[in-house]
Amino acid sequence: DTAVSQTPKYLVTQMGNDKSIKCEQNLGHDTMYWYKQDSKKFLKIMFSYNNKELIINETVPNRFSPKSPDKAHLNLHINSLELGDSAVYFCASSQATGAGGELFFGEGSRLTVL
Amino acid sequence: GENVEQHPSTLSVQEGDSAVIKCTYSDSASNYFPWYKQELGKRPQLIIDIRSNVGEKKDQRIAVTLNKTAKHFSLHITETQPEDSAVYFCAAKGSNYQLIWGAGTKLIIKP
């Protein structure tokens, strides 16, 4: 069973389009995250949700909107895609927001904006 | 803001030799330090972690050391093997419970 699954795995689209990436975890974790990994491999936190509530919202354009319908799902919607949005987006979950708390990552969604 | 510096950015070692990756952190209240390994095209996965009340932790060929006074921690891999080739990330969790990541080290194991 896949612990953290995200779809689609690959996404190729034109500038200006709107796209969504879905994420689901079956680990019973309370906290979910979206990370962006660019071509230089930097892992940058974008959003964090705890029990469906937003707790971290780093400086990302408001074209990016996360949605958490329940604590097992955290989707990412991106409006008006730009070339610089091309990256691998990782969803992750963890049991605890306090000290400790292993992050379990999804396989990643590679977004290419043409 | 809080930050974690990781060095080197690339490390090339002969198979069988040891590899050491170092990180320094700025938030003195940081109390949890995980290391993640990301193989090419794969997801990051936790390989070892250490809490601030411990100075060293070992798991087979990998070990992590923590120096709270100097605010740095290191990953040690002994008897390196081809499957150790990957990007390694250090991170530190501070008083606000946010995980601050290092920039990553690409480890290359030469046959």
- Contact A106/A6 with Cβ under 8 angstroms? yes
Extract long-range pairs of B26-29: CB within 8 Å, 24+ residues apart.
B26/B2, B26/B71, B27/B2, B27/B92, B27/B94, B27/B95, B27/B100, B28/B71, B29/B94, B29/B95
Give, rounded to a whole angstrom, the gap between the first and last alpha carbons of chain A: 34
Contact B46 A97 (CB under 8 A): no
Q: List residues bridging with A76 in a β-sheet.
A: A21, A66
pLDDT of amino acid A37? 96
Mean local confidence (pLDDT), A37-48:
91
The percentage of chain A sitting over the pLDDT mark of 90, rounded to a whole number, equals: 74
Residues 5-64 in B contacting A (C-alpha not used; CB under 8 Å) = 31-32, 34, 36, 38, 42-46, 49, 51
Segment A73-99 mean pLDDT: 91
Which residue from A minimizes the CA distance to B52? A99
The answer to whether B49 contacts A56, with C-beta atoms less than 8 Å apart, is no
| Structure confidence at residue A55 (pLDDT) | 78
Residue B2: predicted pLDDT: 81
- Considering only B3-7, B79-83, B91-95, which range has the smallest mean pLDDT? B91-95
**Each residue's pLDDT tens digit, B28-85:** 999 999 999 999 999 999 999 999 888 999 999 999 999 999 999 999 999 999 999 9
Closest-CA residue in chain B for A105? B43
Size of interface A-B (CB pairs under 8 A): 48
DSSP state, B2?
-
* Per-residue model confidence (pLDDT) at position A98: 61
CA–CA distance, A65 with A99 (Å, rounded to integer): 27
Q: Touching check for A41 and chain B: CB below 8 Å? A: yes
For the cut 80, the answer to whether the pLDDT of residue A1 exceeds it is no
- Give tens-digit pLDDT for A9-24: 999 999 999 999 999 9
Confidence of residue A52 (pLDDT cuts 50, 70, 90): confident
A4 pLDDT higher than 80? yes
Residue A51 has pLDDT above 90, yes or no: no
In this predicted structure, the answer to whether residue B95 has a pLDDT above a threshold of 80 is no
pLDDT (0 to 100) of residue B24: 97
- State how beta strands B86-93 and B105-110 pair: antiparallel
Cβ–Cβ contacts within 10 Å for residue A10, how many? 11
